[in-house]
Amino acid sequence: MKKIIIAGLSLIQVTVFGQNGNKFIVTGRYGNYHSPAKAYLEYTMNGKAVVDSVTLTGGRFKFTGKASSTAVLAELIFDTTGRDRTRSLEQRTVYLEPGTITFAMKGATVMDAQITGTPTNNDYTDFNNVVNAAYEDFSGDDKMILEGKVPPPTAPDFEERMEGFRKRYSEATLGAYVKFIQSHPASKLSLQLFPKVAYEQPYEKVKPLFEGLSATIKDSKEGRNMAGKLEKLRVTAIGQPAPDFEIPDTAGTMVRLSSLRGKYVLLDFWASWCGPCRAENPHLVETYNKYKDQNFTIVGVSLDKSNSRALWLGAIKSDGLPWLQLSDLKFWDGVAAKTYGVQAIPQNFLIDPNGIIVGRTLIGKALDARLGEIFHAE
């Protein structure tokens, strides 16, 4: 599970403030191995794929090379046979940047190693330590699931246990993100982690977290971009009037969202190509049928492309979606998606009869609970 976290974040480009041509050094010790055991360093720099290797001597290794001004993602791989690195599971992400990067084993596998010595590697090591500390509070059952030891699907309480784990895992991870951002206000990694927090927390909690970042980070190009996204979050926060827009339905007729005023409207952003969206559709059909006679409806807004109109219409038919469907077929650049600051799908907003947003990101049981509160209270 730790490796999944690191791999997911490794797609982020990290900029460091060094000079082109500076040297990187990666050094450390892996066990007490000698020849034929080898360490490999794989990366791509300036469009060129590089695979460097050294023979271990008492487990010790050292790589050197020319560093870029931008931290470069690399994989450090250990193979005790020295013959086939591609089959080795002992791999760890490292960021190549000017300076000496130190690899130090802290446990039985490379995933427990600490990689320090340069700004980006220090930040990622600190982040992983914060995340791992959050998981230490898990129960024995949760730790087993975290390690991939999932209970059998035939167990009578399987769904309940997995749902509980997913909730606790999400809360622990989110809490770790917040803790890291608060303790590393001058780190670019904090800014790169920020969207995960921003889109899963109320605006009133997100705003002070962003304001707590250093002036340098907020004034960077990425920081100014995030500030613009936060403004979108502000105008679509719970309690705010739902921004209006007008886009075509499946027949090409222009429809304004405000024309549905007077009903509870679930504004659902999805697409034919979105697997999680399609998986959620059967639940939305059940929800629609349950509440459609109680002043409730759904409006689908697809993020399909202009050349995917047939796929969009086919998905509506295949999934049996009976509610109003809209799309300008402009992918992420659609008017509605940009107006609501949609960064990932499925995403939705629950709007009350007065046009006020009363819920957002209500997926699965979260939607059931919110609608239950509304309609049982009326």
pLDDT of the residue at 378: 57
Contact 233, 360 (CB under 8 A): no
Predicted TM-score of the model (pTM) = 0.69
The predicted-structure confidence for 103-112, as pLDDT tens digits, reads as follows 999 877 888 8
How far is the C-alpha of 154 from the C-alpha of 164, rounded, in Å?
17
pLDDT of the residue at 106: 87
Contact 12, 70 (CB under 8 A): no
How far is the C-alpha of 306 from the C-alpha of 188, rounded, in Å?
36
pLDDT at 19 over 90: no
End-to-end Cα, the chain, rounded Å: 44
Contact 112, 106 (CB under 8 A): yes
pLDDT of the residue at 151: 84
Distance of CA 189 to the CA centre of its chain: 13
pLDDT at 253 over 80: yes
Domains of the chain: 2-120 (2.60.40.1120), 137-235 (no CATH), 246-377 (3.40.30.10)
36: preceding bond cis by omega (within 30 degrees): yes
pLDDT of the residue at 8: 40
Distance of CA 39 to the CA centre of its chain: 31
pLDDT of the residue at 180: 96
Instruction: Tell me the one-letter amino acid at 323.
Output: W
The predicted-structure confidence for 281-324, as pLDDT tens digits, reads as follows 999 999 999 999 999 999 999 999 999 999 999 999 999 999 99
pLDDT of the residue at 376: 82
73: left (phi over 0), alpha (psi -120 to 50) or beta: beta
156: preceding bond cis by omega (within 30 degrees): no
pLDDT at 2 over 80: no
Q: With CA atoms as reference, report the closest residue to 141 among 161, 171, 169.
A: 161
Tell me which DSSP letter residue 163 carries: H
The predicted-structure confidence for 30-71, as pLDDT tens digits, reads as follows 999 999 999 999 999 989 999 999 999 999 999 999 998 889
Question: Helix (H, G, I), strand (E, B), or coil: what is residue 151?
Answer: coil
